[in-house]
Amino acid sequence: MQKNIPTLHIKNKLISLQKPIVMGILNVTPDSFYEESRINTDVAILKKASQMLEEGATILDIGGYSTRPDADDIPIEEEIKRVVHPISVIKKEFPNAIISIDTFRSKVAREAINAGADLINDVSGGNLDTQMFETVASLKVPYILMHMRGTPQTMKTLTDYENIIAEMMTYFQSRITTLKSFGVEEIILDLGFGFAKTIDQNYFLLKNLAVFEQLEFPILAGISRKSMIYKKLDISVSETLNGTSVLNTIALQNGAKILRVHDVKEAMEAIQLLEYLK
């Protein structure tokens, strides 16, 4: 029996995920863990957006709140200020660009969608803002549901699991049921590499990524330049491109349909080369 081809409905666009796609990361935070990804002027934003779109990114992911471990908490109004203008600038220059807002705050999500963003990427899975699911439903946009425990400030201390896969499956099933009760059907799953997981747990999840395909929603892999690479290899963040490509390839082989990356060209090459093996 042939499997249905996974798709995403984003506003008036239907995106096939038969071939995996790439989400390019645009950080408008001053303290993102990967310094070279930080951008804070209109010229730099448009240059980076243009480069990523030309290199093949299907989605641009814009975030104004750093979720690296121990990152500073910032006021909602500051986060809105950081993300709304860049979204407007990109949409004006590239009206067909698909933009994801990376936030766990419903008010930020609403302002970003009103400014032109097309989907919501929530690292907290709705757990840090009780209004998020209702907001997603009212906006009628796709939602990226990630697994995390605690907050960016506390997640490093919350890595004890009896059975990490079973517990994460229960988490996703529960959150999906709640989302569906609000009428949200366009859902993407993100295992949350680096969020309330040890390095060894990250690799275990990567190895077993395909288990989560049974939930029947597209899987996003966000591994790009993370500590699970540079700490294992004892290198700097700036030296992690090769390791990122290796792990992205493994994620694709294990069922990932979306790669969230800092380096679009290399991710597209990984997808293209794996397509030749099919």
The first and second tokens of residue 149, run together, are 């425990």
Q: What is the CA radius of gyration of the chain?
A: 17
List Cβ neighbours of 57 (8 Å cut-off, separation of 6 or more).
Answer: 22, 23, 24, 264
- Output the pLDDT for position 1: 38
- Rounded CA separation 227/242 (Å): 14
In the predicted model, residues of the chain with pLDDT beneath 70 are: 1-4, 30-39, 69-71
pTM of this prediction?
A: 0.93
Residue 260 designated active-site: yes
- Output the pLDDT for position 172: 98
Judge contact between 34 and 260, C-beta under 8 A: no
**Annotated catalytic residue within 110, 175, 257, 260:** 260
- Output the pLDDT for position 12: 83
- Output the pLDDT for position 2: 44
**Annotated catalytic residue within 110, 225, 226, 257:** 226
- The closest of 51, 25, 50 to 38, measured between CA atoms, is 25
250 phi/psi in degrees, rounded to 5: -65, -40
What are 101's strand-pairing partners? 62, 120
Please report where in the chains the tokens 């240059």 appear, as a residue.
Answer: 47
CATH number of 18-270: 3.20.20.20
The pLDDT tens digits for 132-174 are 999 999 999 999 999 999 888 888 888 999 999 999 999 999 9
All structural domains of the chain with their residue ranges:
18-270
